[in-house]
Amino acid sequence: MTSPARIESLALEARRIIMEHAHETPLDRSATISRLTGSRVYLKLESLQKTGSFKARGALYKVYLLKKRGYRGVVAASAGNHAQGVAYAARAHGVEAIIVMPENAPPAKVNATLGYGAKVVLHGEVVDEALRMAESISKEKGYPLVHPFNDEEVIAGNATIGLEVLEQLGDLDAIIVPIGGGGLISGVAAVLKQRRPGVKVIGVEPRAAPKMLESLKAGRPVSVGVAFSLADGLVVKKPGDLTFKLVSELVDDIVVVDEDEIARAMYLLLERGKVLAEGAGAASVAALLQGVKGLEGKRVVALISGGNVDLTSLEKVILKGLVREGRLARITGFIPDRPGELRKILDIIARHKCNVVDVIHDRTDPAIPPWHAKVSIVMEAPSREALEKVMAELEEAGYRFKRW
């Protein structure tokens, strides 16, 4: 029967097993995030874990145990970090891995999984369909299926993070942990509540998939409708029965974060902290930025659970962040269609050390008033203040520009 005490004791064994193949990840104080949130924030950087996420821990312990039980191979279904974790663990322990991924899984993740030596089967449009295929491969080959979260031994592997954090910062007041299916927070909470019952354990879910919060309200695991999220690792429809039980027992609070907050957290971590976090990994910092009651001045660990983000999503997050900070802007307006007019505008922009990225000068749109041109300029600004000065000077010179 699973209990926090049992998970803690399995975690001690897990640690001995997995540390041959996994990193003890750094716990770094972040002055910037501390200043912005009013807590004393430490980042537990599982983004620097082997395979780029904490998933290697649970997988390494589980696959070790399965091999000890005589299995020569394992099966998993995943579109993301679990695939890489299981593939890596299987190679580390010398067993075969068959990973079923949805047909539209990002090529970078498929290649990473192949790179760890796993056999990849592409099947179905979503993970649930991939899972059904994985179940049938599992039966046919006699290889067990490694569940991504609802498994005591996977949870015990994740719990090694709790052991590490306690050694790195014994007197923490709280830890914030992202929730997908709940396997990560179950392990971390089991160890912390066993050893330091006073430490608050706070979970974070994206508004796109608040399954644990809704399940707690309902008193049983329930399914929620899910939407797209930057934190794709947290988009799960329903918690497991085991993770639900542990979370109900051990977790103090659950915070829901919006997509904008997740994007802002990713941007801040990257720009100020030099930390590359994927959306799920940045969710803990998003919660802090949004504000969690009772944590002012407290020592808080934000678990950065992964750093596997594809470059196109990252580009969007960076552009959005630059626009929000007034470091990138597009201005659009009508200007008199006279020689030298565009130059006057560009001179004002250059005087404030803003750098033009793109200019569109259009006289063909029928909506343009006679003897005018429509101008749209994208520029980078050294600071929000420089951009404000450009806008003020353009206005003084008689131009009316709209900005986004």
Which residues form the catalytic set? 55, 305
Strand ranges (E), 252-339? 253-257, 299-304, 328-336
Q: Minimum distance from CB of 122 to ligand PLP (Å)?
A: 19
Interface with ligand PLP includes 160 (CB under 6 A)? no
Cβ distance to ligand PLP smaller for residue 28 or 380: 28
Burial code (b: 16+ CB inside 10 Å, e: under 16) for 15-28 equals: bebbeebbeebebb
CA separation for the pair 388, 63 (Å, rounded): 57
Question: For 124, left (φ over 0), alpha (ψ -120 to 50), or beta?
Answer: left
Cβ distance to ligand PLP smaller for residue 61 or 334: 61
Which of 102, 162, 182, 321 contacts ligand PLP by CB under 6 A? 182
Q: Minimum distance from CB of 34 to ligand PLP (Å)?
A: 22
Interface with ligand PLP includes 8 (CB under 6 A)? no
Interface with ligand PLP includes 280 (CB under 6 A)? yes
Interface with ligand PLP includes 181 (CB under 6 A)? yes
Cβ distance to ligand PLP smaller for residue 212 or 335: 212
Which of 39, 51, 53, 138 contacts ligand PLP by CB under 6 A? 53
Q: Minimum distance from CB of 233 to ligand PLP (Å)?
A: 3
Which of 42, 149, 334, 401 contacts ligand PLP by CB under 6 A? 149
Interface with ligand PLP includes 208 (CB under 6 A)? no
Determine contact, residues 301/27, Cβ cutoff 8 Å. Answer: yes
Interface with ligand PLP includes 265 (CB under 6 A)? no
Determine contact, residues 302/32, Cβ cutoff 8 Å. Answer: no
Enumerate the β-bridge partners of residue 145: 75
Residue 189 structure tokens: 């909470």
In sequence order, the 6+-apart residues with CB closer than 8 A to the CB of 133 are: 77, 100, 121, 123, 124
Interface with ligand PLP includes 157 (CB under 6 A)? no
Interface with ligand PLP includes 151 (CB under 6 A)? no
Interface with ligand PLP includes 76 (CB under 6 A)? no
Of the candidate spans 61-69, 76-84, 120-128, 264-272, the one that interacts with ligand PLP by CB under 6 A turns out to be 76-84
CA separation for the pair 309, 307 (Å, rounded): 6
Determine contact, residues 267/32, Cβ cutoff 8 Å. Answer: no
Residue 354 structure tokens: 């803003």
Count of residues engaged in binding ligand PLP, rule: CB under 6 A = 21
Determine contact, residues 81/58, Cβ cutoff 8 Å. Answer: no
CA separation for the pair 116, 87 (Å, rounded): 6
Using CB under 6 A, list all residues that contact ligand PLP: 53, 55, 80-82, 148-149, 178-184, 233-234, 278, 280-281, 305-306
